[in-house]
Structure 1
Amino acid sequence: MSKVVLDVSVSLDGFTTGPDVREDEPMGDGGERLHEWMGGGGIDEVVRRQVDEAVGATVIGRRTFDLGLRPWGGTPWAGVPSFVVTHRTRQDLLGDNGGTFAFDGLEAAVRRAGDAAGGKDVLVLGAGVARQLLAAGLLDEVWLHLVPVLLGGGTPLFGGERAELVPVGEPGTGDALVTHLRYRVARP
């Protein structure tokens, strides 16, 4: 059965983007620093490969889709179906890399992504949709890549939501001094 997993890089001060997110700077000012670890070797490379191998479908927030479509050149993972959470539905969109974007409400997007994932995980992209999923009890795990940088502003990860998280596995620190953490969302 598919798990709904938020896989996200976050600064030490809790931001998933830098300040001033905009079309020409979708990660905000300084936000690309959060993803530099993905080009590293050692543990960082192993973690990146595990994430890539786990993804069967994605659930994406509308703002993340709007800002990410151009830099991704299609779906975030080539050929992987992606479900955009939105109130403004539209016809499916075929990405340049063979993946399809479908547009739906929160619960329908998660259900459809789970069906499409083929037993693999549904990865969540976007802090806003992650908060919605957590509040709705639809988020199963959180995989954090804690980057040793203070951005001073940007998009906060969970901004006001409350949950109990249970560690899964051992933390690992990669070559870029990024700490990789995994948690299961505890159910009441």
Structure 2
Amino acid sequence: MAKMLYSVTMSLDGFIAGPGGDMSWLAEHLGPNPTVDDLLPQVGSLLVGNRSFGGDDPYRDTEHEGEAFGGGWSGPQFVLTHNPPADPVPGVTFVTDLDTAITASKAAAGGKYVNVIGADVARQCLAAGALDEVLVCVAPVMLGDGVRLFDHPGGTNVKLERLGVTQVPQATNLWFRVL
């Protein structure tokens, strides 16, 4: 059965995107990362939030603009949205409810990971009890404002078990299992 993994690069102060969803900060922190490189062949599908799907691209103005993981991965993508576009997007399925999105993305992933992209969809998967693991690549930068890794107004306590810690020049990778 496919596992749901929320993977993301985060600033040291807890932001995955800058103000207004700005992802330009991320470009200088992308580079060889064996943890991510080893993960990509294990990803069978993506479950992406609509804000992430239509948002800022850290690969903007490069040959890999618009490609998942900068062209390092390809496969079925599912976008969770209340407003699917009128025109189809090749390789992308738009889904309007979380349960259908989880079921479809897991089926498409086979026995591999469903990689969850987007803070809000990850929070929804966590609340539904569907999120299995979290991989955070902590970049050596502080943004001061933006989209938080995990935002739950009123707070909550999510217990995690550390599976691994690795360091590369541009990040410290923290991998957890959701308990």
TM-score (norm 2): 0.83
> Percent same amino acid at aligned positions?
37
Unmatched 5+ stretches in structure 2: none
In 1, are the aligned partners of 2:79 and 2:92 still within 8 Å (CA)? no
Structure 2 match to 1:163 = 158
Structure 2 match to 1:3 = 3
Structure 1 match to 2:53 = 65
Structure 2 match to 1:85 = 80
CA-to-aligned-CA distance 1:55-89 (integer Å, 9 cap, x gap): 11011111111225895436566541111112224
CA-to-aligned-CA distance 1:98-154 (integer Å, 9 cap, x gap): x23332311110110000012110001111111111111111000010111110000
Q: Which runs of 4+ in 1 moved over 6 A?
A: none
Q: 2:146 aligns with which of 151, 154, 157?
A: 154
Residue 91 of structure 1 deviates from its aligned partner by: 6.4
Structure 1 match to 2:167 = 173
SS in 1 for 2:151: coil
SS in 2 for 1:138: coil
Going from structure 1 to structure 2, the CA distance change for 1:73 and 1:12 (only over 3 Å counts) comes to closer
TM-score (norm 1): 0.80
Unmatched 5+ stretches in structure 1: 22-27
Asked if residue 143 in structure 1 is aligned to residue 135 in structure 2, the reply is yes
Structure-2 separation of matches of 1:116 and 1:5: 15
Whichever residue aligns with residue 184 of structure 1, its letter is R
Residue 93 of structure 1 deviates from its aligned partner by: 2.8
